Every structure is written in structure tokens, then in C-alpha cells.
């Protein structure tokens, strides 16, 4: 069967993306899957042996890995909805055409372009212990002196919320820009017709804005969920997984297993489990939102 010019052009356009998918996702995953069934250790003179599912069994008996999984789930469960709600609120505010909209839009988006390593270092200084730390000083001022200075990054109860706050601040600008573009694409005639029918701002938000923003909201939530499970830079720079494994994550544990303890096979098993977990959650999220769209 001969290919027509349109099909040939489509294949040429999609080939770079398919090659990137093959080289940087499918091939590494297949390699990790193979290594996960061995006992490979980096630099070990011993022969590599096939051990079946031993690496996976030891993985799910490891309390550090289980804690890392729970931390990832907690981080995503808190950051994704809060960041999306805040981004939607900022987008709605900037979409009203108030003076200085361009300046505020740039200001809110600036943290997105900063390297996470730089952001983590700056926020480590903000979270500095003692009354001279910026966060402690602000909370003490806001509470009229009732706040007692805390060491945020060394407190098992405060370390993860501190990283969550940093991540929301750094990533909200990306979601805001996407949602703002979606808001600007909503026809104004819909709001005019709703106003003539006596609908207030709240009803317009529920029955016009949110339904029209369904696809942008799904997109930003999917992307933010994937990024939330990739949490590593903040942990590596600010807490090293501590205190008491309160901020350890799967990616951090994988890096520690592969390069600190040289357990390449165990790290590969972590990678496989992590990839399948993120894929499953993303699929469920997409399936749920698709079902809602069909019902609507």
C-alpha cells in the first residue's frame, strides 16, 4: 500500500517525538525492568545473577521506601489541589484587566523560570532557625509576638509543610499562565447572556468559567501531579530526606540506593515501581476527569 503525501508528512513530523519517547522513556524503563530482576551492584567484582522478584520483595519490606511512597502521596495530595486553586484565583484576578496586570503576571511567573536549586537555597535561608530567620520573624510579627521561633527544616512535623509551601510558591505561576490563557479564550457573550438572565458572579463562575476551563484544569492537574511525584531537588538541598525520614521521597531513595549504596538493581526496582505508580495515578486521574466530562 502506497502512502499519500499527507500520511508521509505526518510520519515525518511525529518521528522526532517517537524517537525521543523510545530513547528517553521506553528504553530506560526496559533497561531498569531487566536490571530489577538481578543483583547488580555498582563496582562489584561478583558476577551478576538473576534473582527473580527478590528486589521487589525486599523493597516492600523496607520501611524507608514505604515512608518515601507515603510522603510522595501526601505531597501530591496537598500540593496539587492547593496550587491549582491558588493558580485559578490568581488567573481570575489578573483576567479582570486591573492596572498593573502585566507586571503582576510577570512577577507571579518569575519563580517558574528560576532553577529549583537556587529557589531551595533561598528558601533555606528564609526558613533559618532562630528569631533572625525571615519566616520566624514574619510569623512573630503577624502573631504579635506569640510565635516561638522554630527550626522548620529540622522539625519532623514542619519539614514537609515547609517544602510544600516552597513548591506551591515556585510552581503556581505556570498553572496561572495556562489558566489565564484559557480564561481569555472564553467568549464574553456567555457572560453577557448570563448577566441578562440575572446570574451573579458566583453562578457565572460555576456554570460558565469552570466548565469552559475543564480542559486547561485537567492539563495543569495532570502535569502538576507528575511533577509532584518527581520531588527531589528540594529534599536533596534542604533536608536530605530528614528529619527522621519526614521528607524522603521515592526519587531521593532511588538516588541514594544507586549512587550512595551502589545497589543498582534495587534502585532499578524502585524506578519500575515508581513509574508504574505514577502511570496508574495519572491514568486514573485522566479516566475520572474524562468520565466527568461525559456526564457533563
Q: Is the peptide bond before 243 cis (omega within 30 degrees of 0)?
A: yes
pLDDT-derived band at 48 (thresholds 50, 70, 90) equals confident
In a domain, 236, yes or no: yes
Count of domains forming the chain: 1
Q: Which residues pair with 50 in a beta bridge?
A: 38
pLDDT at 12: 85
Q: Which residue has the higher pLDDT, 195 or 71?
A: 71
pLDDT-derived band at 245 (thresholds 50, 70, 90) equals very high
pLDDT at 1: 46
pLDDT at 44: 75
* Residue where the block lists cell 505561576: 173
pLDDT-derived band at 235 (thresholds 50, 70, 90) equals very high
pLDDT at 100: 75
In a domain, 102, yes or no: yes
- Could you read off the pLDDT of 87-138 as tens digits, one per residue? 999 999 888 877 777 888 888 888 888 889 899 999 999 999 877 789 999 9
Domain span including residue 145: 63-295
Quick check: 159 and 246 in contact, CB under 8 A? yes
- DSSP class of 196: H
- DSSP class of 171: H
- Could you read off the pLDDT of 162-188 as tens digits, one per residue? 999 999 999 999 999 999 989 988 888
Grouping H, G, I as helix, E, B as strand and the rest as coil, residue 128 is: coil
pLDDT at 108: 83
The yes-or-no verdict on residue 286 having pLDDT over 90 is: no
Beta strands, E only, 121-172: none
- Could you read off the pLDDT of 192-217 as tens digits, one per residue? 888 888 888 888 888 888 888 988 99
Rounded to two decimals, the pTM is 0.88
Half-sphere exposure of 139 (CA within 13 A, CB side): 18
In a domain, 186, yes or no: yes
Cα–Cα dist 269/36, whole Å: 5
Cα–Cα dist 155/210, whole Å: 39
Question: Which of 62, 92, 296, 73 is CA-nearest to residue 205?
Answer: 92
- Could you read off the pLDDT of 259-285 as tens digits, one per residue? 888 999 999 999 999 889 888 888 887
Q: Which residue has the higher pLDDT, 248 or 284?
A: 248
In a domain, 158, yes or no: yes
* 87-125 burial code (b ≥16 CB/10 A, e <16): bbebbbebbeeeeeeeeebeebeebeeeebeebbeebbe
Q: Which residue has the higher pLDDT, 5 or 113?
A: 113
Question: Which of 184, 175, 212 is CA-nearest to residue 84?
Answer: 175
Cα–Cα dist 192/214, whole Å: 20
- Could you read off the pLDDT of 129-149 as tens digits, one per residue? 877 789 999 999 998 888 888
Give CA angle at 282 (276, 283), nearest 5°: 85
pLDDT at 4: 67
Average pLDDT, the chain: 87
Residues 6 or more apart from 149 whose CB is under 8 A from it?
Answer: 129, 130, 131, 133, 136, 140
CATH of the domain at 256: 1.10.3720.10
pLDDT at 3: 58
Cα–Cα dist 186/112, whole Å: 25
In a domain, 279, yes or no: yes
Cα–Cα dist 249/36, whole Å: 19
The yes-or-no verdict on residue 60 having pLDDT over 80 is: yes
Grouping H, G, I as helix, E, B as strand and the rest as coil, residue 54 is: helix
The yes-or-no verdict on residue 295 having pLDDT over 50 is: no
pLDDT at 2: 55
Quick check: 180 and 95 in contact, CB under 8 A? yes
Amino acid at each position: 500500500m502506497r502512502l499519500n503525501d499527507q500520511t508521509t508528512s505526518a510520519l515525518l513530523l511525529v518521528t522526532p517525538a517517537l524517537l525521543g519517547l523510545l530513547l528517553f522513556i521506553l528504553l530506560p524503563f526496559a533497561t531498569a525492568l531487566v536490571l530489577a530482576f538481578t543483583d547488580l551492584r555498582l563496582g562489584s567484582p561478583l558476577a551478576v545473577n538473576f534473582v527473580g522478584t527478590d528486589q521487589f520483595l525486599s523493597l516492600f519490606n523496607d520501611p524507608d521506601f514505604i515512608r518515601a511512597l507515603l510522603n510522595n502521596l501526601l505531597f501530591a495530595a496537598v500540593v496539587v489541589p492547593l496550587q491549582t486553586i491558588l493558580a485559578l484565583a490568581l488567573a481570575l484576578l489578573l483576567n479582570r484587566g486591573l492596572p498593573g496586570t502585566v507586571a503582576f503576571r510577570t512577577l507571579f511567573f518569575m519563580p517558574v523560570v528560576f532553577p529549583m536549586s537556587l529557589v531551595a537555597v533561598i528558601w533555606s535561608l528564609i526558613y533559618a532557625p532562630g528569631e533572625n530567620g525571615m519566616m520566624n520573624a514574619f510569623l512573630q510579627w503577624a502573631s504579635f509576638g506569640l510565635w516561638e521561633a522554630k527550626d522548620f527544616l529540622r522539625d519532623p512535623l514542619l519539614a514537609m509543610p515547609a517544602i510544600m509551601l516552597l513548591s506551591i510558591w515556585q510552581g503556581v505561576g505556570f498553572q496561572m499562565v495556562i489558566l489565564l490563557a484559557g480564561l481569555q479564550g472564553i467568549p464574553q457573550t456567555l457572560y453577557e447572556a448570563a448577566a441578562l438572565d440575572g446570574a451573579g458572579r458566583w453562578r457565572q463562575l460555576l456554570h460558565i468559567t469552570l466548565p469552559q476551563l475543564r480542559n486547561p484544569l485537567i492539563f495543569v492537574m495532570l502535569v502538576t501531579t507528575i511533577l509532584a511525584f518527581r520531588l527531589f531537588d528540594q529534599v536533596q538541598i534542604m533536608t536530605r530526606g530528614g528529619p527522621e525520614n519526614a521528607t524522603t521521597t521515592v526519587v531521593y531513595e532511588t538516588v541514594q540506593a544507586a549512587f550512595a549504596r551502589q545497589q543498582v538493581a534495587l534502585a532499578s526496582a524502585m524506578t519500575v515501581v515508581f513509574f508504574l505508580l505514577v502511570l496508574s495515578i495519572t491514568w486514573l486521574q485522566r479516566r475520572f476527569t474524562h468520565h466527568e466530562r461525559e456526564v457533563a
